[in-house]
Amino acid sequence: MHVLFVEPAFPRNQREFVRALSAVGARVTGIGESSPQALDDELKGWLYRYEQVRSVTDEQALLQAVKRAQQREWVDRLEATVEAHIMPTAKVREACTIPGTTTRTAYLCRDKPAMKEALRQAGVPCAQSTGASSAAEVREFIKRVGYPVIIKPRDAAGAAGTWRVASDEELGHALDDSGVERGASVAVEEFIEGHEGFYDTLCIDGRVVMDFACHYFPNVLEAMRTRWISPQVVCTNRIDAPDYRQVREMGARVIEALGIGTSATHMEWFFGPKGLKFSEIGCRPPGVRVWDLYAAANDLDMYAEWARAIVQGRVERAPSRRYAAGMIALRPECDGHITGYEKLDEVRTRLGDHLIDGHYPAPGTATQPPSAGYMANAWMRVRHTDYDGLRRILDYIGQTVRVRAKPA
């Protein structure tokens, strides 16, 4: 099978998809922005061919690269795994009659108001929401549902550009920052109180063949706004328990309603006083290298199983559920430059085999703000056979390790 893979070099873990495709027998043509000379020898060894384009989000540039590949030989699949690449890849895929995620599915997985409308029609519980292109439309929605609300870009990923609005004063700031009063289009949603988690799958022809449930502590919006918090992402090994049945059933309905075929998915949910509510979905793997957690927790190579799904229409191994696994972000005490770590060596020694890996920027490294994400500064990943034991370890790390910094 000949697979075209979009952007094999950046971010760093993109190479793992190429490695896996090559390992299961595919010929892989990479399409990326780096020059061929910039690719390292290992990555070159996994690639059959390489096409350089000025931007992989430039639909015309991507289209011409795919057509060049098709003129040379048959192309079986065109794959992308980064959120910003999903829609242009879907459009080129359809223009070149290559099987895979359609533009309709890509659009519904990207545009928040359209996504939720489609899912409400399929009976999936969602927050009340609308699309708005003017301040008047936003205010009309708030008049109907009341405060608080969430305002975010229609195609946002994670908490990027997201505002929680609980008053007229906060609304004024959000309208200005979001650009609504200058004609920008946003999604406006009822704020759902409750715990936030996510449900990830690997699907073949719309059938879930592998799934995982994870939890955020605290919820993403708070984590991305609050410096002192060391936020956690925790993958449970209890997904087969009855408590997760509703999440899994909801996920299956979402996949069917949006027409997802053979693909990874990443969908977020809330559970609180109003019950389980769907939040949003990406037709792609999760970010912040969560697949590495799944691999460490479940005795499998997630990239290889994804590649088998794409190339062979099957998976080889089921998740063992042997471990729960989690990551914790360790934030510098202030903006500036890192000066060192307090009690890090002590914690790493105490963790022993529970520690999967970690990242500790050297003293002198410039700090990144909380909004830069979970892996922007230092982080640690750990696992434990017991979910509650894992939570205790993560709390211990957050309460003990300090990342010292000084202002620039």
pLDDT at 183: 76
For residues 397 and 94, give the distance between their C-alpha atoms in angstroms, rounded to a whole number. 48
Quote the Cα angle for 216-222-223, to 5°: 55
Question: Which superfamily is assigned to 195-406 in CATH?
Answer: ATP-grasp fold, B domain (3.30.470.20)
| Cα-only R_g, the chain | 22
3-state secondary structure of 98: coil
CB neighbours of 408 closer than 8 A, spacing ≥ 6?
A: 335, 336, 337, 366
H or E element at residue 405: strand 402-406
The pLDDT score that the predictor gives to residue 84 is 95
Residue with tokens 């390489």: 50
Give me 344's structure tokens: 């890090």
Burial 110-128 (b: 16+ CB within 10 A, else e): bbbbbbbbbbeeeebbbbe
Residues of the chain with pLDDT under 50: none
Residue found under tokens 């920027």? 361
Q: What does the alpha-carbon distance between residue 127 and residue 275 come to, in Å, rounded to a whole number? A: 11
The sign of the torsion formed by the CA atoms of 287, 293, 25, 105 equals negative
Residue 192 per-residue DSSP state: P
> For the domain bounded by 128-190, which CATH number is listed?
3.30.1490.20
Q: Are 257 and 122 in contact (CB under 8 A)?
A: yes
Predicted confidence at residue 156, as pLDDT, reads 63
Considering Cα of 243, then 315, then 21, then 103, what sign does the dihedral take?
Answer: negative
Q: Are 307 and 5 in contact (CB under 8 A)?
A: no
Average pLDDT, the chain: 95
The letter for the amino acid at 314 is: R
Model confidence pLDDT, tens digit, residues 19-54:
999 999 999 999 999 999 999 999 999 999 999 999
What tokens does 123 get? 């009976």
Could you tell me the residue ranges of all domains in the chain?
2-100, 128-190, 195-406
- How far is residue 363's CA from residue 342's CA, in Å, rounded to a whole number? 12
Q: Quick one: which H or E segment has residue 270?
A: strand 263-272
pLDDT digits (tens, 9 = 90+) for 330-386: 999 999 999 999 999 999 999 999 999 999 999 999 999 999 999 999 999 999 999
Is there a contact between 176 and 164 (Cβ–Cβ < 8 Å)? no
Architecture of the domain spanning 2-100: 3-Layer(aba) Sandwich (3.40)
The reported pLDDT for the residue numbered 262 is: 98
- Per-residue confidence (pLDDT) for residue 46, from 0 to 100: 98
Q: For residue 401, give the amino acid letter.
A: V
- One-letter amino acid of 59: E
pLDDT of residue 178: 85
